[in-house]
Amino acid sequence: MSLRDKSCYTLTIHPSDADPAIFELMESVGPATGNEKPRYARVKETREDEGYSSAIYDALTGARLASAGYTIEKAKKRRLQLHGPDEDVPFDFTGKINFEWSFIFEGNKYRWRREIYGKDYICTMDRKPDPPVEICLAREADKKEPAKLQILHYNIDRFPNEIKDLRGLETLLVASLLCLLDAGDERSISSSSKVSKPVPTPSPPSLPSKDSPPIPPQLGPERVISEEDFEPDPETLFIVIRTRSPEAHQRALEVSLGVKRFRHHENLSDLHQYIIEDNTPASPPSQQRQSKRPGPRVINLDDEPKSSSPPHSSSSSSSLRRKFTQTKTQALPQEIWTPPQHMAIYLSTIVLPDLDPGRRGSSSMRNSFSYSNDGRDSHGNGNGKGNGNGNGNGQEASTSTSTSPAGTFAVKSSQHTSTNTSASGSSDNSGSAVKNKKSFRGTLGQKLFRSSS
């Protein structure tokens, strides 16, 4: 993006012929003719408590208008002052993953923004809840053209009640922009010097003398990550925060919550958050197999006892069922929940159907099946799965397995009995048939128990 309107008030930044440390800002309205006169002058100064310091002077009167400075280039707070009278203006770095510096003047907040790999600067005034308004455009110097600053007076004139000190705002725009440009030049020079600097040969260590004072520790904040290390993109769809240990899960959730809160405070669109857990067990599968008790799976085929059954049959069936229950509980120990080793948090500007919890939950339920043993009544009926009753001689049924919609296995069993019953059937015959069935079930249960043990 270049400067949009050449007819606007423009300041062209040129180094002075007399002193390279002085930059002159030539003012022009419309295309440059070459006869422009300097309006401002930027002079670098030296201060004991700062690594960089500069001042803005009026080129016509020589009055000191503003000054800026910082201790180190990576500091998040910089000094910005207006003079005549003196007024401190807060100048802070407010970007998250993008380049953004803000200052507050007359109760209004102004933001300088720049693309990571671009040379254009845009200064906007916040108008919450309305969209921000652009009031200034700037561009870094390149091989063809010098640096320029353009003030959009047609937007500033829309707010006469909010922007009252127009000259003070113009001076702050010039001082803050030149501070950002000088910091960028210093950063590029330091990075190029690190690349071209040869590796020195190690010298033998020298012992400090007794009279030499101790070396003071280096003061000032140190930052590991700079704001220029990230590449903001307005077309970014989502970002991913990954963790490699359970101890980092809480920190990752705090980071995602901070990003969502920042977008809420800035009146930006909400983000969709998806959390994916990797439930890979920490111990190898061989150890898990060894922890389980080996042995065949025991299936209880006994029916539930009825209240009208004899006492001895109910006690025998209950004791046999208690043995089977103890064997099942010992064979299948309860698993202890452990936190996942890895976790990924997706913050997306759009809906990601593949990461939706409902879809992932339904697919996992569809692929997993759990075994359940359904109860039977005394007539061999399953839970909603057919009827094993029949009349006549030679009644016969088989054991089958079916899958219910919920994904559970139901086992249906019936007995092969040979009893002579008629359609009308007397009470004695029916009683003997029930006894034969129960005695057969007891014999079948004992055989299964002996085979399993």
Pick the range with the lowest mean pLDDT from 33-37, 64-68, 323-327: 323-327
The answer on 123 and 19 residing in a single domain is yes
Query: What's the rounded Cα separation, in Å, for the pair 240 and 238?
Result: 7
- Tokens 């101790």 -> residue: 214
- Tokens 């996942």 -> residue: 340
The answer on 174 and 46 residing in a single domain is yes
Last residue of a domain, one of 349, 367, 385: 367
The answer on 387 and 274 residing in a single domain is no
The answer on 309 and 363 residing in a single domain is no
Of these ranges, 231-235, 390-394, 424-428, 433-437, the one predicted with the greatest mean pLDDT is 231-235
Q: Is residue 199 part of a domain?
A: no
Residue 197 has pLDDT above 80, yes or no: no
pLDDT of the residue at 232: 56
Q: Greater confidence, 87 or 263? A: 87
Query: What's the rounded Cα separation, in Å, for the pair 167 and 174?
Result: 11
**Stretch 50-68: mean pLDDT:** 91
The answer on 260 and 408 residing in a single domain is no
443 confidence band (pLDDT: 50, 70, 90): low
In the predicted model, what is the mean pLDDT of the chain?
A: 71
pLDDT of the residue at 110: 94
173 confidence band (pLDDT: 50, 70, 90): very high
Nearest one of 362, 416, 367, 370 to 393, comparing CA atoms: 416
Estimate the crossing angle of helix 427-452 against helix 311-331, to 10 degrees.
30
Q: Is residue 196 part of a domain?
A: no
Coil/strand/helix, residue 22: strand
Q: Is residue 134 part of a domain?
A: yes
pLDDT of the residue at 15: 87
**Stretch 419-427: mean pLDDT:** 38
Q: Is residue 207 part of a domain?
A: no
What pairs with residue 371 in β-bridges?
A: 409
Q: Is residue 67 part of a domain?
A: yes
Pick the range with the lowest mean pLDDT from 76-85, 140-149, 435-444: 435-444
Pick the range with the lowest mean pLDDT from 113-117, 142-146, 395-399, 435-439: 395-399
The answer on 401 and 449 residing in a single domain is yes
What pairs with residue 88 in β-bridges?
A: 81
| Structural domain for 255, as ranges | 236-280+340-367
The answer on 65 and 147 residing in a single domain is yes
The answer on 358 and 312 residing in a single domain is no
103 confidence band (pLDDT: 50, 70, 90): very high
Pick the range with the lowest mean pLDDT from 56-60, 107-111, 335-339, 375-379: 375-379
Residue 132 has pLDDT above 60, yes or no: yes
Q: Greater confidence, 150 or 375? A: 150
pLDDT of the residue at 31: 67
The answer on 312 and 240 residing in a single domain is no
Last residue of a domain, one of 158, 187, 216: 187
The answer on 144 and 42 residing in a single domain is yes
pLDDT of the residue at 203: 54
Please give the distance of CA 115 from its chain centroid, rounded to a whole number. 23
392 confidence band (pLDDT: 50, 70, 90): very low
pLDDT of the residue at 394: 41
Residue 397 has pLDDT above 80, yes or no: no
222-281 residue pLDDT tens = 554 555 545 555 667 778 888 988 888 888 888 988 888 888 888 888 888 888 886 654
Query: What's the rounded Cα separation, in Å, for the pair 141 and 188?
Result: 14
The answer on 378 and 359 residing in a single domain is no
pLDDT of the residue at 63: 92
Domain total in the chain = 3
pLDDT of the residue at 288: 47
Provide the percentage of residues in the chain whose pLDDT is more than 70. 56
Where are any strands of DSSP class E within 203-258?
238-243
Provide the percentage of residues in the chain whose pLDDT is more than 90. 16
Pick the range with the lowest mean pLDDT from 9-23, 165-179, 210-224, 353-367: 210-224
7 confidence band (pLDDT: 50, 70, 90): confident
pLDDT of the residue at 216: 54
Residues near 236 by beta carbon (within 8 Å), at least 6 away in sequence: 349
The answer on 264 and 134 residing in a single domain is no
Residue 4 has pLDDT above 50, yes or no: yes
Pick the range with the lowest mean pLDDT from 18-32, 277-291, 309-323, 404-418: 404-418
Q: What is the DSSP letter of 333?
A: P
Q: Is residue 428 part of a domain?
A: no
Residues near 430 by beta carbon (within 8 Å), at least 6 away in sequence: 421
pLDDT of the residue at 435: 46
Last residue of a domain, one of 126, 152, 187: 187
